[in-house]
Structure formats: C-alpha cells, structure tokens
Structure 1
C-alpha cells in the first residue's frame, strides 16, 4: 500500500525552496504560474500549486488534494456548514424558546439561506475555476458574483427589518431600495462585458457602493434612536464600526498582496489565502461566538421596540455584512481576460 501511494505522489517546487511530495489523483497535475492560462493569473507572487485544464470530474476530485485553492474551497465549504447548523439550531431551539412570530421565522430563514447560497457559490467557483473550458470558468465566476449579491441581500433584509422594527415606513423604504439595488446588480451581471478587464473598476464600484450603502440606514437608525448618546446606539454602533474596519483591513490585505508579497516561506499558498484568514474565517468565527453569547445573555434593551431575538439577529447580520463586503471587493478586483 505504501509503495502504491508513493507511485502516485508528484513533486512540486515550492518557490525554489524545496520539493514537497503531494499525493495527487491520477490525471491531476499542479502547474506553476508560467504554465497556467491567463484567466488564472491573478497573483504573480503565488508561483506554484495551480490546478488547470481539468474536466468536471477531476475538478471535483481536486477538492481533496493540496493546491493553492485548498483554503479558499474549504473555508467557504465550512462556512456553509456553519450557517446550515446555525439555521437548524435557530429554527428548532432559539426561535421557539423566544416565542418568535412567523415573521421572525421567515426573516431568519431568508438571512441564513442567503448566506448559505453565497458560500456554496464561492465553493463552486474556487472548485471549478480550473476547468478546461473557459466558458465554464466564466459561468462559475458569474455564479460567484450572484452569490455575493444574494449574501448582501440577506444581510440587509434581516438588518433593516429589525433595526426599523417599529418604523414600518422606513423599513419598507430601505428594503425596497436594497432590493432594487440588488436587482440592478443582477442586470449588470448579464451584460457581456461584465467579466472583462475593462469593467474591473466598475465591478469594484458596484459592489463597494451596494455594501457601503449600509452606512445610510445605520446613520438614520442612530438619529431615530436619539443620537450617539442613546444606550442602544452605544451598544450597537461600535459593532458596526468594527465590522467596517475589519472589512477595510481585509481589502488592504488583498490589494497589497500581503503576506505573500513579503514572505520568505515557500509560496505554496492559496490565492488570497491571507484574506480568508483575515476576514472570512475570523468573521465567521465571530458570528458563531456572538451567536452563543447573545443567546446566553438574553439582552433586552429598555425603551426599544425590539426583542432579544431581534438584537441577536441584528448583531449577527452586521458582522456577516463584513464577510460579503470583503468577498465582493476581493472578487470584483480579479484579473479576467478580455
């Protein structure tokens, strides 16, 4: 058995530092940066471990090998299972124990479903980005963008619903506005030039605008609740600020290509590996930790027309916006062939 495994081992060069045996299923080869198609050439500082020219069957098999997409694939896949588990927990335990209304069940379901779709679309893109058909790669990239839009929609639906729980007019205004923005993004994605290099800056502007729009209802919510000095604002506003700061730091990591630009370690790193670690993984873990903390503490704020359940969902949503905002910026700045 040991001899058989050794025969299936391929040696790939790790940034000219050493050779490392990697068990690879037959038919899957790992390439260097110079050998891959233009559509995969995103980060020249990642020199090895690329999958390329694979049929669908081998793309799926590559899920279980060490490549420079391993962390991207598994971080999003584990994120999907995290939100799936939280969904079951909320539906079977949290909401019934809080005597939640049907509205609460619907909003919570929409929120978590959107997050799961976002994660699965990213899994699909990172898994099939090495497909031998460029047309298939582009389709998965388009699905990834669509997943990001759906994830952002889930953030806004739950956040706006509970932030303006007592103000039905403004709740409807912001929900309709957000829905219109997401639909506009979907229509933009249909344009044949959307995935081209010429639209790279426009993609960045679109997703940053949709994500940054959340500042407007946040400031409005602060004003409606009595300004910065109000207890509820002091409790929630810092969380929103921290979320945007983390998202900004994640974006800076991405555009500066740190740490892969400066590291002296072998560069068998997943593209943007630092970025799932600095945003997706950290924020998903924060969501899970905050989820338990809020449920245990049972926060109830005086003078505010929200329940502890609403507080829980709002905080979870605020943090998740950071995940999808960074993902939007990260994906929108990808290099794509003209």
Structure 2
C-alpha cells in the first residue's frame, strides 16, 4: 500500500514524511482521523508519538514540522471521541487528537483544561521554591540531617504529584492510548502525594517514639505497595472502577486517623502543648480533603449549570486548587511542629 507524502523542511534539510490515515474505530470517532508516522525517525515517548526531524534537542511531533503556527481547534462534548468523555456537564472547550507538539502549544491556548494544567504546574514551582527556601532556613541549630531528609522527601512527592497531574491533563487528548498511559501516571501521582503527606508527618509526630515511628513508616510503605499493586489490575483504569479508585485513595487518606489518635495518647492527651498546637491542623487537613473529594464526586457546581463552568469554576479545577492548598498547608504545619521539637527536646 502506498502512503501520501508531505514535503517539509527542518534546519534547511528537506524531509519527506509518510502519513497513513487510519479509519475511526467507533462511530464516536467518525469525524476524527489519526495520522501515524512511517518515518524511520519516529519514536514514541510515554505513548506520545514524536518525530526527531523537527530539530536537535527538541521533542516535537510531526505536525509541528508542517506548520510554524499550529491551529488548535476546540470541540463540543457531542463531537469528541468516547475516551475523552468524562464529565457531561462540561460542554465545550475540548482538544482532540492533538500531536505532541500541539499539546505543548495548547498551554497557551485557553481551553477547558487550562486551569487544571496550570494550577499544578504552578504548584510544582511553589513546592520547588519551598524546597529551596527550606534548605536555607532549616540549616539552623537543632535541625538534623534526617529532619531535612523527610522534609525534602515530602516536597519531592508533592512535586511529582503536581507534574504527573499536569502531564495527564496536557497530554490525554493526544490519543486513546496516551490517555490511558497518562491516567495511570496521574493516579500514581495521587498515591505518591498521599505518601508525601505521611512521611514527614509520621517522622515528626513520633519524633520521641522511634519504635512507633518505624512501625508507622513501614505501614506507609505497605500502603504504597498496595496502591501501586492494585493499579496493575487490568480494570483499574476503567470508568467502571472509578468509585473503587476513589474508595482506595479515601482509605489511604483516612488511615491517618489511626496514628493521629495514637499520637495524641502518647503525647499525654489533648491538654498537652504539642497536641494543642498540632491537632487542629490535622482536623483542618481532613476538612480540606473532604472538601476536595466533595467537589470531585458531586461535580458541583457545573452539575447545576451545565455549560456555564466549561473554562473556569468547574469541580475538577476546585479539586486541583484545594490539593495545592492542602499540600502547602500540611508542609507549613510540619515546619511548625519541627520548630517545636527543636525548642522542646524529647525527654526520654
């Protein structure tokens, strides 16, 4: 079979690209066609089809070779393929089957994922800055190397969570295969983010009780193994398992109540200074978590105003923003309790 060819140029060198038009697999995809490379320079990175002909040290898709100013069309919910349909109350602003370079270009195109992407890209920058400043400010007398280790490890987990989440919302429109791959990475990021909450929290809460600290850190390790292990199930990424995924992450987050109650008991009860300082912050982080989950599950407010929250104000955007706020709040709470541990050493 012969394929149509397109002649283009990159770095003053003529390039011939062979394209094959694949027929849509479902009726929902009837208006979209996927072009696949037949060039020996084509490669796939994380299920994103890219072509290295477009210039050195750049990861670009073939479409960027064809146009210096790519045009990105936005579609309505009724027009998009089935794999992009997740929230029927978001009626427009969808990107569909974009090449990898166009996915990057869509960072500067206002669409219904713009806030989802940028909120967590900025979250990544925020936690990166926090890591830098913490390394400077926590180098005071009394802060140990292990304290810095858990502090930085928690921030790294938050940063990974932010990047994987932003990556999913940026690239899932590339193809059905890319959508599935990046969804798996996004869910892995949620697990990593939750673990990032536990690591410094357990270290600081059981600062004076090393045996219990080691025990609860081991439990956190087991929770991570269980979470990542369940993701290997073939149906874990399916829409039918959406509620099971939410139940899993809710259980991982809810588990924190057990070590929290134990910590209050070991600290001498609610009347002690450290409990008075810190237990309110534990309550607040769970309030933020419940608020975020509430937006995610109910799809409020767009469920009351379909088509009115397509670009700004939708439930998933609130979910993203609250997650960033919750992570930073928890990090700052950890710095407060760390300062308390420095000022009030353990009395063995």
Instruction: Considering Cα pairs closer than 8 Å and 6+ residues apart, tell me whether 1 or 2 has the greater RCO.
Output: 1
The 1:261/1:242 distance shift into structure 2, 3 A limit, reads same
The 1:29/1:72 distance shift into structure 2, 3 A limit, reads same
Q: Which residue of 1 aligns with 2:156?
A: 113
Inter-partner Cα distance in structure 2 for 1:273 and 1:194: 20
Residues 31 and 48, structure 1, Cα contact 8 Å, conserved in 2: yes
The 1:56/1:244 distance shift into structure 2, 3 A limit, reads same
Inter-partner Cα distance in structure 1 for 2:328 and 2:239: 34
Q: Which residue of 2 aligns with 1:9?
A: none
Unaligned runs of 5+ in 2: 1-68
Q: 1:101 aligns with which of 132, 137, 144?
A: 144
Q: Write out aligned runs for 1:194-233 (5 A).
A: 194-233=236-275
SS in 2 for 1:109: helix
**Normalization by structure 1: what TM-score?**
0.75
Q: Which structure has greater helix proportion?
A: 1
Measured after TM superposition, the shift of residue 223 of structure 1 is 0.7
Q: Which residue of 2 aligns with 1:239?
A: 281
SS in 2 for 1:166: coil
RMSD: 2.6
* Count of aligned pairs between the two proteins: 278
**Normalization by structure 2: what TM-score?**
0.73
Measured after TM superposition, the shift of residue 278 of structure 1 is 5.7
SS in 2 for 1:51: coil
Task: Kindly indicate whether residue 311 of structure 2 is the aligned counterpart of residue 269 of structure 1.
Answer: yes
Measured after TM superposition, the shift of residue 100 of structure 1 is 2.2
Q: Which residue of 1 aligns with 2:197?
A: 155
Inter-partner Cα distance in structure 2 for 1:229 and 1:241: 16
Q: Which residue of 2 aligns with 1:305?
A: 346
Residues 120 and 163, structure 2, Cα contact 8 Å, conserved in 1: yes
Residues 115 and 317, structure 2, Cα contact 8 Å, conserved in 1: no
Residues 75 and 276, structure 1, Cα contact 8 Å, conserved in 2: no
Unaligned runs of 5+ in 1: 1-24, 307-338
Residues 285 and 330, structure 2, Cα contact 8 Å, conserved in 1: no
Q: Which residue of 2 aligns with 1:35?
A: 79
The 1:257/1:198 distance shift into structure 2, 3 A limit, reads closer
Q: Write out aligned runs for 1:1-338 (5 A).
A: 26-91=70-135, 93-131=136-174, 133-263=175-305, 266-269=308-311, 272-276=315-319, 279-283=322-326, 286=329, 290=332, 294=336, 299=340, 305=346
Measured after TM superposition, the shift of residue 265 of structure 1 is 8.0
Residues 91 and 307, structure 2, Cα contact 8 Å, conserved in 1: no
Inter-partner Cα distance in structure 1 for 2:287 and 2:146: 32
Inter-partner Cα distance in structure 1 for 2:87 and 2:72: 22
Structure 1 residue ranges (4+ consecutive) displaced by more than 4 angstroms after TM superposition:
284-288, 290-295, 297-304
Measured after TM superposition, the shift of residue 37 of structure 1 is 1.6
Higher alpha-carbon Rg: 2
Measured after TM superposition, the shift of residue 287 of structure 1 is 5.8
Measured after TM superposition, the shift of residue 292 of structure 1 is 12
